[in-house]
Structure 1
């Protein structure tokens, strides 16, 4: 017989406290986890309120942590970070606060390191193809097009 584990509200609270303590989570992730645990909507609301009241769930803290981590570890630009946070239903207010976690100096420094490294390691010989691949890579990473096009001009002129 295939029995599905059921949880009391208290068991689910405890499980979700651990889930949120382990790593910052957004509302959507927590709600999805509770749905997978087959909790009813009233229980989900109750548990969410508990997690918020006890500071296990904090959208601003999640957004800030997300922005810092994705920029420093994955090398994402602001456009990609904003889009990913919007996808997770994070408010514009919290997105703006999160972007302040990345100083302009750190942002540009990481951009130039990533761009220089990618340019050096590209095997493409055809100049136009190399330029296109380089720009596409940095656009996918979420950097601003004006930064990218300025950088490609500098690299091609050997600066």
Structure 2
């Protein structure tokens, strides 16, 4: 077996990088930071990265607000994450705080409480702890890890006689 020299990835020119980035953004909503990281990964220089990003914003392939709304709705409706965990995820993607809080306002309060209850009822049978205090602690810890707020967890558990 002959040793082949390792192929170095070819740095795309701005035009092909733009086309590749359009495809990347059309496939799924992206944050500016995700795209920025991807463009650097492809070997573009910082001035090219910013040019490609501003061009994608102008052509509406990249829209941070649309991304934020899609992220919030997906993480809440599909993954059943709480607002704290969603907010943390968006902060990691460097989404502005104002945009995060506006997108989180779109989550219906009653749906939010129903989701906490649904997760609690689903989790409870799998907690084998006999001591009611430890059992409650494990349930609350689980819901906190899902990103729900402490006061709301207790409110829901108390109102539904789960605590």
Common topology (TM > 0.5): yes
Q: Is 1:155 aligned with 2:143?
A: no
Q: Which residue of 2 aligns with 1:74?
A: 79
Q: Which residue of 2 aligns with 1:11?
A: 16
C-alpha distance in 1, partners of 2:152/2:98? 25
Q: Deviation at 1:5? A: 2.0
C-alpha distance in 1, partners of 2:126/2:27? 36
Q: Is 1:93 aligned with 2:134?
A: no
Could you tell me which runs of 5 or more consecutive residues in structure 1 were left unpaired when the two chains were aligned: none
C-alpha distance in 2, partners of 1:123/1:43? 56
SS for the counterpart of 2:94 is coil
C-alpha distance in 2, partners of 1:123/1:80? 26
Q: TM-score, normalised by structure 1?
A: 0.92
Q: TM-score, normalised by structure 2?
A: 0.89
CA contact (8 A) 1:70 1:76 kept: yes
Q: Which residue of 1 aligns with 2:28?
A: 23
Q: Which residue of 2 aligns with 1:63?
A: 68
- Deviant stretches of 4+, over 6 Å: none
SS for the counterpart of 2:43 is coil
SS for the counterpart of 1:7 is coil
Could you tell me which runs of 5 or more consecutive residues in structure 2 were left unpaired when the two chains were aligned: none
Q: Deviation at 1:128? A: 2.5
Q: Which residue of 1 aligns with 2:143?
A: 138
Aligned residue pair count: 156
Q: Is 1:122 aligned with 2:127?
A: yes
